[in-house]
Amino acid sequence: MDNKSLVSIDDYSKEEILEVLARAAQFEKNPNCNLLEGKVVASLFFEPSTRTRLSFETAISRMGGRIVGFTDSSSSSVTKGETLKDTTKMVSNYCDLIVMRHPIEGSARYASEVSDVPIINAGDGANQHPTQTMLDLYSIMKTQGTLENLNIFMVGDLKYGRTVHSLLMALSHFNPTFHFIAPPELEIPRGYKIFMEKNNIKYFEHSEFNDIINDADILYMTRVQKERFADPLEYEKVKNVYILKNDMLDNTKANMRILHPLPRVNEIAVDVDNNPKAYYFQQALNGVYARQAIIAKALNL
Amino acid sequence: MNTKKELQVSAIENGTVIDHIPAEYLFQVITILGLDKSKNSVTFGNNLESKILGKKAIIKISDKFFKDEEINKISLIAPHAKLNIIRDYKVAEKKIVESPKKVVGIAKCMNPKCITNVEAVTTRFQVINNAPITLKCHYCEKITDHKNIEIV
């Protein structure tokens, strides 16, 4: 087992989160370096995720590393019936670090136990996606100057959205106040409410999406996914309730920024894109710096 | 009132009696404790009347004394089990089963998308609540509650 792996956001302490964010800021100033010169990173995408993969591959390339791997499991020996264990063991012989995306939950933790080199989890099913959380934190830090004492509003699918859950856990170190805006079908799971109550974290739940967002420092939007609804009528009822339109931002705080893990469908109207409070495209770019910092930490560089 | 004194499973001279096992889990308890491979003499009764459980099972193992961590494995399926340590036909000591902090390789994760249900991975759980027993999977991080605990 390698403890330098990043499988779940809980693997990082508060100090480690801050250390990686500070490192990400350095990479943003000087993205090109040769820290990974002579190193081989395996990029194993057992399911396609173009956005995440390109972000990782950009991070590795800017650090001077080489990439081997596959972009979906149809081009790997998985189609011949090879187990994750065997694939991981074999690849870990070849490389210095493995970046892995896999549809099965817990696969990254298991891989980190059979691999001789560190694993960075680039998403394991509906479970964890810690590099997304780190880039979300980096974006919050960059736009607010701090992670402490912020009003965080989360909107949309709070039940199934893993980015919401991981961000909630990570921010719990920094005395946040959460506001959750979701239809009852997609409200934040009970387990997380118990977690917040145990840790004295203030939270409020709303089903209306209106001028309560005027208090927000961060507005974290997510997509309401049709496939989550058993009854298509229920989806039709809520799908247009949580759309952010430009005029809703008129009385929001000047420092407020809108984040979204992307891809978006219609939950942020296109006219918001030109508002200076829209931050989701810069947020995606921040992913490269955050991943550079995570890779450097995993390899002790 | 039933006053008959006759034992439904005959007494042992030295060893351990495990009582108050839910009847449906008798054979799983036997497997978990490795009694199916034991060289000791093992006697058991199943579907006996029980005021607490309705139907219960009882196991008597001669000349066998369990370590706590060994016996605590059965707490997942037999939380009310009671142990009597027998020496010279008398109850020398009584013990109750306690929940372990970690559960390795006994229970199944209830999440069908968990790696432990896809590949041959030994399950590992953290016990996050004792009563009712609640497990958190080390791999997929999902909760398996007492209603859904299945023994491997």
Question: Do residue A89 and residue A141 come from a single domain?
Answer: no
Res B65 pLDDT > 90: yes
Q: Which of B124, B122, B120 is nearest to B100 (CA)?
A: B124
Mutate to test the interface with A, among B110, B141, B145 (most CBs of A within 10 A): B141
Res B68 pLDDT > 60: yes
Phi-psi region of B140 (alpha: psi -120 to 50; beta: other; left: phi over 0): alpha
State how beta strands A177-181 and A119-124 pair: unpaired
Query: Taking CA atoms, what residue in B is nearest to A190?
Result: B143
**pLDDT mean for each 10 residues of chain A (301 residues):** 81 96 98 96 94 96 96 76 93 97 95 96 93 98 97 93 92 97 89 91 94 96 82 82 92 97 92 97 96 97 92
Question: Do residue A66 and residue A97 come from a single domain?
Answer: yes
Decide if A16 is inside a domain.
Answer: no
Report pLDDT for A2. Answer: 44
Decide if A25 is inside a domain.
Answer: no
CA separation, residue B131 to residues A17, A163, A220, B51, B152 (Å):
35, 31, 37, 21, 21
Decide if A26 is inside a domain.
Answer: no
Query: Taking CA atoms, what residue in B is nearest to A108?
Result: B139
Q: Taking the complete model, does pTM exceed 0.80, yes or no? A: yes
Alpha-carbon Rg for chain A, nearest whole angstrom, is: 19
Q: Of A90-104, B83-97, B98-112, give the lowest mean pLDDT range.
A: B98-112
Is B138 in Cβ contact with A105 (below 8 Å)? no
Q: Of A143-152, A188-197, B27-36, B70-79, give the lowest mean pLDDT range.
A: B70-79
Mutate to test the interface with B, among A11, A46, A47, A105 (most CBs of B within 10 A): A105
Complex-level ipTM = 0.86
Question: Do residue A111 and residue A137 come from a single domain?
Answer: no
Phi-psi region of B16 (alpha: psi -120 to 50; beta: other; left: phi over 0): beta
Amino acid letter for position A70: F
Q: Which of A112, A134, A139, A116 is nearest to A124 (CA)?
A: A112
- As for how many domains chain A has, the answer is 2
Q: Which residues of A touch B115 (CB under 8 A)?
A: 84, 104-107, 109-110
Bridge partners of B48, per DSSP, are: B56
Question: Do residue A76 and residue A136 come from a single domain?
Answer: no
Report pLDDT for A3. Answer: 64
Across the interface, of B115, B120, B143, the residue whose CB is closest to A105 is B115
Range B54-73 average pLDDT: 89
CA separation, residue B103 to residues A11, A217, B70, B149 (Å):
21, 42, 11, 12
Question: What are chain B's domains?
Answer: 15-96 (3.30.70.140), 102-151 (2.30.30.20)
Decide if A47 is inside a domain.
Answer: yes
The residue segments making up the domain with residue A105 are 31-128
Q: A96: Cβ–Cβ under 8 A, 6 or more apart, which residues? A: A39, A40, A41, A117, A299
DSSP B34-92: TGGG--S-EEEEEEEEETTTEEEEEEEEET----HHHHGGGGGT-TT-EEEEEETTEEE
B132 three-class SS = coil
Decide if A12 is inside a domain.
Answer: no
Q: Which residues of B touch A168 (CB under 8 A)?
A: none
Report pLDDT for A234. Answer: 81
Res B4 pLDDT > 60: no
Decide if A195 is inside a domain.
Answer: yes
Report the CATH number that the domain containing residue A215 is assigned in CATH.
Answer: 3.40.50.1370
Question: Do residue A203 and residue A223 come from a single domain?
Answer: yes
Question: Do residue A141 and residue A265 come from a single domain?
Answer: yes
The 10 Å CB-count burial string (b at 16+, else e) for A132-144 is: bbbbbbbbbbbbb
Question: Do residue A70 and residue A158 come from a single domain?
Answer: no
Question: Do residue A155 and residue A254 come from a single domain?
Answer: yes
In chain B the first and final C-alpha atoms are separated, in Å, by 40
Q: Which of A72, A74, A53, A118 is nearest to A92 (CA)?
A: A118
- Half-sphere exposure at residue A163, Cβ-oriented, CA atoms within 13 angstroms: 21
Which of A75, A104, A128 terminates a domain? The answer is A128
The annotated binding site of B for Zn(2+) is made up of 109, 114, 137, 140
Determine the Cα–Cα distance for residues A299 and A20; give it in Å rounded to an integer: 13
Determine the Cα–Cα distance for residues B91 and A118; give it in Å rounded to an integer: 54
Bridge partners of A259, per DSSP, are: A220
Decide if A218 is inside a domain.
Answer: yes
Determine the Cα–Cα distance for residues A291 and A278; give it in Å rounded to an integer: 22
Report pLDDT for B150. Answer: 83
What's the DSSP call for residue A223? Answer: -
Question: Do residue A197 and residue A236 come from a single domain?
Answer: yes
Report pLDDT for B73. Answer: 81
What's the DSSP call for residue A274? Answer: T
Window 96-135 of B: residues touching A by CB (8 A cutoff) are 109, 111, 113-116, 118-121
Decide if A14 is inside a domain.
Answer: no
Report pLDDT for B24. Answer: 87
Q: Is residue A253 marked as binding?
A: no
- Half-sphere exposure at residue A4, Cβ-oriented, CA atoms within 13 angstroms: 17
Is B116 in Cβ contact with A106 (below 8 Å)? yes
Determine the Cα–Cα distance for residues B102 and A28; give it in Å rounded to an integer: 42
CA separation, residue A54 to residues A50, A51, A60, A291, B141 (Å):
6, 5, 10, 11, 27
